[in-house]
Copies of this chain bind each other. A is one copy, B any other.
Amino acid sequence: MSILIKNVLLNGESRDVYIEKNRFARIAQNLPLSADSVIEGGDFAILPAFYNIHTHAAMSLMRSYADDIELFSWLNAYIWPLEQKITEEDVYHGARLAALEMIKSGTVFFNDMYWHALGTARAVRDMGLRADISLVLIDAGDPGRSDEQLRRAHELFDHEGEFPDRIRFTYGPHAIYTVSEKTLRSCADLARKEGRRVQIHLSETETEVADSLKNFGKRPVEYLDAIGFLGPHVTAVHCVHLNDTDREILKKHGLTVAHCPASNMKLSSGAFDYAALKQKEIPVVVATDGASSNNNLSMLEAMKFAALWAKSLSGNPTTLPAEEAFAMATRFPAEAMGLDAGRIEEGALADCLLINLRHSSLIPSGNLIANMVYSADPECIDTVICDGRILMRNRIVPGEDTIIDGAEAAFRKLISR
């Protein structure tokens, strides 16, 4: 399988981009090549696609099911009762809907944590995306349930052979207030041994910090440091409530922070101090969280929310400029996840977007990256290519009607079950 994109705008210059199998093979002017698919790129710019490093994809099934509610009521009265009834088939339909909306807004990779993760993996396989997929681990602080939790994770890993390389299985312990020290320690050991990444919700709310101080005599980051959980393979999600010591620890371990601005704002989790993390050069990337607390998976929106909120909170409009926000949604998260991707260069994995430069939201055409961060309507994303395959062309994703019908039916069944 090969794709030739002719005369496309790359960093301000017209280029031909030749994709062979799943890599950018040649990038130059006037390539004398033919290909299985040829795209005339004259009206398009080619840009890296988005990498979303914190999601609960299947929660798109619960989009707008319960909004504007206190966190505790939201979980207890709405989300958890549904999740107790959710099946692998529901998760498949929810994750397929999520994949559809991700493709339509330019995302090619997501880092997921959810129940029945095999359903998510099947959806990713069918939709052609990349993903790191973890089963959410929750033992309610009961070390007696530790072995069972890790056994469930390994049952998932046993299916690895059934999936292409673009799908990887990882560890997803939920948070320090839902997972026992025993499970967290085992998770850390196994992840290192097996070479798997880990993601965990961390310091999301004031309550989490207060409870951690009460229960462990330490703040959440200090606690995870003390039990040997942290390392460069860990994605720390949220990190809204940090002090200088916390930031020193994150820095020391080379962690990546997944910043989910829309979720933090919608749930009133607190004020994310981007400027302080930036000052310490701690890698921060932008993510959406699940659609239940956002309520979509648009990385375009996530970039704009991150940039504008950082400016507002720091009182400085030069904080988090457009180029930085764009890198935090493309190159930085790809690098953080150890993917040879996130850039349009010969040899890199062939993930990219073709952007319709004639879309009104990108006019005038002075600064494409600023337009992508601050102004772009997702409709300007014409084509999405992931791993050398065209997932969307002319904004059409094959099978869209089936995906929508499947998700709608699954949601109806779930709430009436």
Contact = CB atoms under 8 A, between A and B. Distances in A.
Interface stretch (A62-70, A219-227, A329-337): A62-70
B262 A363 contact: no
Interface string A359-403: 011011111001100110111000000000000000100001101
Q: Which of A262, A395, A403 lies at the interface centre, i.e. has the most chain B CB atoms within 10 A of its CB?
A: A262
Given A317-B266, A374-B266, A322 B67 contact: yes
B69 A363 contact: no
A97 B109 CA distance: 34
Interface string A63-106: 11101111100100000000000000000000001001100110
Contact of A360 (B61, B101, B312): B101
Q: Chain copies in the assembly?
A: 2
Given A97-B360, A97-B363, A268 B317 contact: yes
A291 interface: yes
B64 A375 contact: yes
Interface in A290-304: 291, 294-296, 298, 301, 304
A308 B266 contact: yes
A371 B68 contact: no
A414 to B, nearest CB: 9
A322 B363 contact: no
A161 interface: no
A378 B379 contact: yes
A267 interface: yes
Contact of A400 (B317, B360, B364): B360
B104 A377 contact: yes
Given A311-B268, A312-B264, A364 B61 contact: yes
Interface stretch (A4-12, A147-155, A248-256, A404-412): A404-412
Contact of A271 (B67, B312, B320): B312
Contacts of A68: 317-318, 320-322, 370
B69 A317 contact: yes
Interface centre among A60, A295, A317, A321 (most CB of B within 10 A): A317
A365 B63 CA distance: 9
Contact of A309 (B265, B363, B375): B265
A159 interface: no
A268 B315 contact: yes
Contacts of A268: 311-312, 314-317, 319
Given A296-B374, A364-B411, A358 B401 contact: yes
A305 interface: yes
Given A64-B322, A64-B367, A268-B311, 10 more contacts: A61-B364, A67-B321, A70-B317, A262-B304, A295-B374, A295-B375, A358-B401, A360-B404, A364-B412, A377-B379
Interface of A: 60-61, 63-65, 67-71, 74, 97, 100-101, 104-105, 262, 264-268, 271, 291, 294-296, 298, 301, 304-305, 307-309, 311-312, 314-322, 358, 360-361, 363-367, 370-371, 374-375, 377-379, 395, 400-401, 403-404, 407-408, 411-412
> 4 smallest A-B Cβ distances: which pairs?
A68-B321, A364-B411, A64-B370, A295-B374
